[in-house]
């Protein structure tokens, strides 16, 4: 069965090229094209339908303790109105998913998980519930829009009432957009200043249309509809990992370079295995391709004749105008400045290990 | 005109122009270029390489994907358009001027479409 988000009709009307993704039919790009959409987010503002993402509500007196015991990050310091990134690991320390936790109050949280993992996560989390918490999959009752780019605040302010959150990884529950009650969060997956807007499915078309119709002082529209293609190149340019690529259940979060979200000084599922993996034998690296050509996902990486790893994502980055990739490589070949060779069909392309992120916004 | 009348077209979206000396120029159609999006790199063959009917002789990379360019003829690649090395976007900007290779000593050729037949083919 193919699922549709509440904005399916809009995507078709806008000429979106529809593809299957995580069980949904979603636009990979609109007629403007992936590159134009990518640049719109870097320069102005782009609007994404991310209603396919999964949302779970967690409630109960034991909610905080359960979060700490279940996920890699620590949540004691997470205040109401704030947001935290975390991993969910299995007993072996492999990543089951990465997700975002929104704190409404100390006994009420919202978890946003990857669409492709929604059913797996929900089943797994339910197996690990304690008696003092309840978890509900509310994904079908929430539409989610991502408005990203330096002019996203200007666009959203025009059609909203109430104070927009400004601090990164915070959210407001009391914003009205087009008169409709929404949550507005300062989160995103593009490396750009921006918002994610949680709303009722019935309000999605109104808010979508209104954001695309916003004009500047010269009367020009400045919010572009963007598809999954630009979402992927933007996150890659910003050095952000994608589940199923940079991390899987065979990769632990330290190997994926996500130590900032792993607190080994508390108990959680997979903690012992992750602790025992230190020092890790392989690491996620950023790569900039030195030769002409593009290195894509799953290319073998060599030092001389020795296979030292594989790429996990790769593209031509439209804003940087350079071929970039991320990969998992043996730790001894992961130092910044190391030049690896990527096997691309019959050719070997040199690729240098560089700092992540590839791109950082002035936000 | 999107598909010039003086060219012949393959089902894999290459165009072919017959030259007076019996050699042919090969490029990609406006339809192919549009499907690919902006081409950022072309992996070109070298002069004197053989072109084999139905086989890839070059690759065009866009942000989205890599696309093989299939030879509609067998012969010898006599000239390669080196401009594409530094300006791969010529394939998008002027697909019918941006020939990729010239093939001489053509020994076989697949059945090709004229402009009207190709236009109907891509409309399907």
pLDDT value, residue B64: 82
φ and ψ at residue A337, rounded to 5 degrees: 100, -15
Q: For chain B, how many residues are written? A: 124
Average pLDDT over residues A162-178: 96
CA distances, A246 to each of A239, A294, A361 (Å): 10, 18, 22
Tokens of A254: 């330290």
Spatial separation of the C-alpha atoms in residues A235 and A99, rounded to whole Å:
15
Chain A interface test: which of B45, B49, B64 (most A C-beta within 10 Å)? B64
Closest-CA distance of chain B to residue A5, Å = 24
Whole-prediction pTM value? Answer: 0.92
Closest-CA distance of chain A to residue B117, Å = 25
Residue B20 binned pLDDT confidence (cut-offs 50, 70, 90): very high
What percentage of chain A exceeds 70 in pLDDT? Answer: 100
Spatial separation of the C-alpha atoms in residues A336 and A322, rounded to whole Å:
18
Classify residue B63: in a domain, yes or no: yes
Classify residue B28: in a domain, yes or no: yes
**Per residue in A259-316, pLDDT tens?**
999 999 999 999 999 999 999 999 999 999 999 999 999 999 999 999 999 999 999 9
Number of domains in chain B: 1
A233 touches A318 (CB < 8 A): yes
Render the burial of A234-250: b for 16+ CB within 10 Å, e for the rest: bbbbbbbbbbbbbbebe
Give the closest of B61, B63, B85 to A35, CB-based: B63
Domains (range + CATH), chain A:
8-51+142-236 (3.30.1360.120), 55-136 (3.30.70.1400), 281-363 (2.40.30.110)
Classify residue B26: in a domain, yes or no: yes
Spatial separation of the C-alpha atoms in residues A204 and A195, rounded to whole Å:
15
Tokens of B33: 């270029």
Classify residue B56: in a domain, yes or no: yes
Q: Give the full edge-to-edge strand order of the sheet including A95-105.
A: A83-89, A95-105, A108-113, A54-59, A134-137
Residue A156 pLDDT > 60, yes or no?
yes
Query: Do the Cβ atoms of B41 and A293 come within 8 Å?
Result: yes
Element (H or E) spanning A139, and its range?
Answer: none
Classify residue B29: in a domain, yes or no: yes
Maximum alpha-carbon separation in chain A: 62
Quick one: DSSP state of residue A3?
B
**Per residue in A116-149, pLDDT tens?**
999 999 999 999 999 999 999 999 999 999 999 9
Closest-CA distance of chain B to residue A27, Å = 14
Average pLDDT over residues A54-81: 98
CATH of the domain at B49: 2.40.50.100
Query: Do the Cβ atoms of B37 and A35 come within 8 Å?
Result: yes
Helix, strand or coil, per DSSP, at residue A187: coil
Residue A2 pLDDT > 90, yes or no?
no
> Which residues sit opposite A113 in a β-bridge?
A54, A99
A residues 96-115 closer than 8 Å to B (CB)? none
A333 touches A340 (CB < 8 A): yes
CA distances, A80 to each of A109, A136, A145 (Å): 9, 20, 22
Helix, strand or coil, per DSSP, at residue B59: strand
Residue B81 pLDDT > 60, yes or no?
yes
pLDDT value, residue B1: 53
- Whether A32 and chain B come into contact, CB under 8 Å, resolves to no
pLDDT value, residue A291: 95
Classify residue B32: in a domain, yes or no: yes
Spatial separation of the C-alpha atoms in residues A196 and A199, rounded to whole Å:
10
Closest-CA distance of chain B to residue A178, Å = 35
Spatial separation of the C-alpha atoms in residues B81 and B101, rounded to whole Å:
6
pLDDT value, residue B108: 95
Nearest CA in chain A to B38: A35
Could you tell me how far CA A329 lies from the centroid of its own chain? 22
Rounded to 5°, the CA angle A11-A164-A219 comes to 55
Tokens of A46: 């782009």
pLDDT value, residue A363: 65
Give the closest of B37, B38, B61 to A294, CB-based: B61
Classify residue B70: in a domain, yes or no: yes
Domain ranges, residue B27:
8-118
């Amino acid at each position: 069965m193919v699922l549709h988000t509440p904005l399916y009709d809009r995507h078709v009307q806008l000429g979106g090229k529809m593809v299957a993704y995580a069980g949904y039919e979603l636009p990979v790009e609109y007629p403007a094209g992936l590159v134009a959409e990518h640049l719109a987010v870097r320069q102005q503002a782009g609007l994404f339908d991310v209603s396919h993402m999964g949302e779970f509500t967690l409630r109960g007196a034991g909610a905080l303790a359960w979060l700490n015991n279940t996920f890699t990050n620590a949540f004691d310091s997470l205040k109401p109105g704030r947001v935290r990134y975390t991993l969910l690991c299995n007993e072996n320390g492999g990543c089951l998913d990465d997700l975002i936790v929104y704190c409404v109050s100390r006994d009420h949280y919202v978890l946003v998980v990857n669409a492709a993992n929604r059913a797996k996560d929900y089943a797994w989390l339910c197996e690990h519930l304690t008696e003092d918490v309840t978890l509900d999959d509310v994904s079908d009752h929430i539409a989610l829009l991502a408005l990203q780019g330096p002019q996203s605040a200007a666009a959203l302010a025009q059609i909203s009432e109430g104070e927009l959150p400004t601090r990164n990884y915070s959210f407001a529950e009391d914003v009205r957009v087009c008169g409709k009650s929404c949550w507005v969060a300062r989160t995103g997956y593009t490396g750009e200043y921006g918002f994610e807007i949680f709303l009722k499915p019935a309000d999605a078309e109104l808010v979508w249309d209104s954001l695309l119709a916003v004009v500047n002082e010269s009367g020009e529209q400045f919010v572009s509809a963007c598809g999954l293609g630009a979402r992927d190149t933007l996150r890659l340019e910003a050095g952000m990992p994608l589940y199923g690529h940079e991390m899987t259940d065979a990769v632990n979060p330290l190997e994926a370079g996500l130590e900032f979200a792993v607190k080994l000084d508390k108990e959680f599922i997979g903690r012992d295995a992750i602790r025992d993996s230190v020092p890790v034998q392989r690491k996620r690296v950023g790569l900039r391709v030195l030769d002409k050509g593009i290195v894509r996902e799953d290319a073998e990486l060599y030092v001389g004749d020795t296979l030292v790893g594989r790429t996990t994502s790769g593209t031509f980055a439209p804003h940087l105008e350079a071929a970039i990739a991320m990969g998992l490589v043996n730790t001894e070949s992961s130092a910044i400045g190391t030049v690896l060779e990527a096997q691309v069909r019959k050719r070997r392309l040199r690729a240098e290990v560089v700092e992540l992120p590839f791109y950082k916004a002035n936000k | 005109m999107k598909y010039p009348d003086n060219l012949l077209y393959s089902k894999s979206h290459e165009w072919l122009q017959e030259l007076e000396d019996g050699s042919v120029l090969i490029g990609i159609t406006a339809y192919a270029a549009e499907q690919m999006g902006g081409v950022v790199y072309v992996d070109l063959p070298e002069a004197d390489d053989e072109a084999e009917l139905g086989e890839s002789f070059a690759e065009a990379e866009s942000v989205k994907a890599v696309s093989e360019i299939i030879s509609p003829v067998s012969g010898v690649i006599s000239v390669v358009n080196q401009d594409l090395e530094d300006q791969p976007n010529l394939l998008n900007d002027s697909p019918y001027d941006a020939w990729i290779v010239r093939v001489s000593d053509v020994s076989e050729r697949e059945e090709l479409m004229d402009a009207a037949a190709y236009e109907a083919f891509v409309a399907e």
